[in-house]
Structure 1
Amino acid sequence: MPNVEVEIGNRRYSIACRTGEEDHLRSVAAIVDGKAKDAAGALGNLGENRQLLFASLLLADEVLERRAGHAPPADAALFETNDDDVADALERLAERMEKVARTLEETGQPS
């Protein structure tokens, strides 16, 4: 089982993968790294954990938007974002999380 060195958020990781999946792993790591850099650029100095948290939230938001049929045009560049776009996406995510928290509080569900 090969190990692949990737860099995400200015930190290097060694990750094991199946033979033949090395390039795919590098590609998805580059996407996560791009989102981590977007988050750091939009929100300023973030610790590693928060940078990865916001990168995950941005990626999850993108997945949900695509599932809802709001995918970006096919010719859109992978990392073609600006700080305002990232900040807007994070604001939408924060609003969604607050709504979920309110719903859980109202229904008495443990958080």
Structure 2
Amino acid sequence: MSTSNVTLEIAGRRYTVACAPGEERHIESLGRSIGEKLAQLDILRGQSAERVLLYASLLLADELHEAQKASAPTPADDEQAETLEKMADRLEALAQRLESGVASA
């Protein structure tokens, strides 16, 4: 399988990354996103590449955590789901009674 190379510039440093053919634009977009996040942090100027990438990892992990927390079901969601499930059960029972009444008529 062939690979492509993409060069990303993050926090003033250039990194060459291998990717599957056709994924170049996506990888470049991810690199830009990371670079933009890091550009907001003045504290990173003059830091080592390892420290810059550590901060990038922490920022992205925090963003992922917040997104997961925002999409996690809440007790209200659970309560609504339970109510809908009970309604569906009652409707199904009613439909069965109606069908059996029609069949015996």
Q: TM-score scaled to structure 2, two decimals?
A: 0.58
For the residues of structure 2 that align with 1:10 and 1:65, how far apart are their CA atoms?
28
User: What RMSD, in angstroms, separates the aligned Cα atoms of the two structures?
Assistant: 1.6
Secondary structure at 1:20 match in 2:
coil
Structure 2 gap segments, 5+ residues each? 72-105
* Equivalent position of 1:62 in the other structure: 63
**Cα deviation 1:65-87 (Å, max 9, x = unaligned):** 010017xxxxxxxxxxxxxxxxx
* Equivalent position of 2:4 in the other structure: 2
Q: Is the 8 A contact 1:9 1:51 kept in 2?
A: yes
Deviation at 1:38, TM superposition (A): 2.1
Q: Is the 8 A contact 1:32 1:56 kept in 2?
A: no
* Equivalent position of 1:21 in the other structure: 23
Higher relative contact order (CA 8 A, sep 6+): 1
* Equivalent position of 1:34 in the other structure: 36
Deviation at 1:52, TM superposition (A): 1.7
Runs of 4+ in 1 over 3 A off after TM superposition: none
Percent identity between matched residues is 40
Q: Is the 8 A contact 2:6 2:18 kept in 1?
A: yes
For the residues of structure 2 that align with 1:22 and 1:7, how far apart are their CA atoms?
14
For the residues of structure 2 that align with 1:12 and 1:44, how far apart are their CA atoms?
16
> May I ask how many residue pairs the two structures share in their alignment?
68
